[in-house]
Amino acid sequence: MAPEERIIIHLDMDAFFAAVEELDRPGLRGRPVVVGADPKGGRGRGVVSTCSYAARRYGIHSAQPISEAYRRCPHAVFLPVRGGRYSEVSRQIREILEEFTPHIEPVSIDEAFLDVSGAAHLFGGKYELPVRIKRSVRKKTGLTASLGVAPNKMLAKIASDLDKPDGLVIVEDDEIETFLHPLPVDKLWGVGPKTEAVLASMGLRSVGDVARTPLRTMQERLGEHGRHLHRLALGIDHRPVKNVGEIKSIGHEHTFDEDTGDGKLIENKIMFLCEKVAFRLRKSGLKARAVSTKIRLDDFQTRTRSSSPDEPVGSAHEIFAAALANLKRLDRHGRKVRLVGVTATMLERNAAVQTGLFDRDAGNRSAREKWERLERTVSEIQAKHGAGALKRGSSIGHNGSPSGRSGA
């Protein structure tokens, strides 16, 4: 028997926060709407959470300083973030998706993967099913979603973004190359500005350029990351769609450009990894009962230490405290370090944080405030370090950062 065709859908709501605001106040429809910090007549210091497509025509975008958004379009409607309301809509969307399949992996408040390999035939097949999902979302929430349908998660994710808003892009098995290869390299998961610069220095600008480069060359220049990118460029991505209960661990690792004995550098890198882990925990509405730290020495010996904090941890600094304590217990025998990794395990639901697509408990006020605070922090980090620092979806390991993985 032939193996079942894999049909993965990635759904991403259009201009989500702004679209909800327009929904609640129809008078705003079509106007430039900016959701985020108070612009204070151009002196505001926060950032844009998101904006409507009408506002995007002025060059306004997520994570941009709100003062700049104001400068670009002072007559836009500026609105504060109402996290509780967006979570409510997000739950509604999740319920709609559950009518189609139980295999749903929520990625963020307005984004999810669905594995409909088994369900598609019940809803008229893979061309009809996404149309029905879009229609149902539209009818029941009044909002538009963009969908990508493809044989794997990476392709579905790229596809959902190609025809926004209200898009539907289907990638067939036999058109992976024609679909993927002309795209710029930064469409590949895990390619941020730094990797993009390395690839550019190798003369590689399109995904096809990467695919045509010998694996060896990719590995020589970018190590494990290079191997991973090469596979992605060929359209290979076997990761399953995971229901929230199936996410057993969230981890990130980093291979140093050069083996290092610099304790400060190692600690800084671990902090950076903890931030990435914390960000993904937050997106998934999870906390960890255990944290493990891994080092690989210059002779390729690999050591791991785990610990269980008294309380489940979710924030970067809590994870870092545990990761650092683990690190101190790892004997390096004076050798240099080649790779470090941090993994959060024994995951459980984080009751305090609303994450929308996951969250079934309606928000009480303090949870909502926390949620909003978190949103703001994320946006601030993005504003400071560039959207790539906490890029949604594309560079987050949940979706396949080169060194990220969700172990099962």
Active site (annotated) includes residue 111: yes
The minimum distance between CB 284 and Mg ion, in angstroms, equals 17
Token pair belonging to 346:
């024994």
d(CA 158, CA 150): 9
Give, as ranges, the residues between 171 and 210 that touch ligand TTP (CB under 6 A).
Answer: none
Among residues 10, 11, 14, 230, which is the contact residue for ligand TTP, using CB under 6 A? 14
What distance in Å separates the CA atoms of residue 167 and residue 219, rounded to the nearest whole number? 36
**Residue linked to tokens 């979570």:** 87
63 binds, among ligand TTP, Mg ion, none (CB under 5 to 8 A by kind): ligand TTP
Query: 282 touches which of ligand TTP, Mg ion, none (CB within 5 to 8 A by kind)?
Result: none
> Residue 159: what residue type?
A
Site string for Mg ion, 79-118 (x = CB under 5 A): -------------------------------x--------
Among 382, 394, 399, 403, binds ligand TTP (CB under 6 A): 382
Q: How far apart are CA 408 and CA 242, in angstroms?
A: 9
Among 9, 17, 350, 354, binds ligand TTP (CB under 6 A): 17
* Residue among 182, 149, 156, 165 nearest 399 (CA): 156
Please, what sign has the CA dihedral across residues 80, 111, 250, 391?
Answer: negative
The CB density around residue 181, as the number of other CB atoms within 10 Å, is: 17
Say whether residue 375 binds ligand TTP (CB under 6 A).
Answer: yes
Task: Name the burial class of residue 35, with classes exposed (0-12), middle (13-18) and buried (19+) by CB atoms within 10 angstroms of its CB.
Answer: buried
> What is the x/- site pattern for Mg ion, positions 16-45, by CB under 5 A?
x-----------------------------
Residue 63 sits in the site that holds ligand TTP (CB under 6 A): yes
Nearer to ligand TTP, 63 or 286 (CB): 63
Q: Dihedral sign, CA of 309, 391, 69, 385?
A: positive
Q: Which of 111, 253, 372, 375 is catalytic?
A: 111
Token reading at 261: 């004995």
In the complex, the residues that contact Mg ion under the rule CB under 5 A are: 12-13, 16, 110
In the complex, the residues that contact ligand TTP under the rule CB under 6 A are: 12-17, 49-50, 62-63, 109-111, 164-165, 375, 379, 382, 392
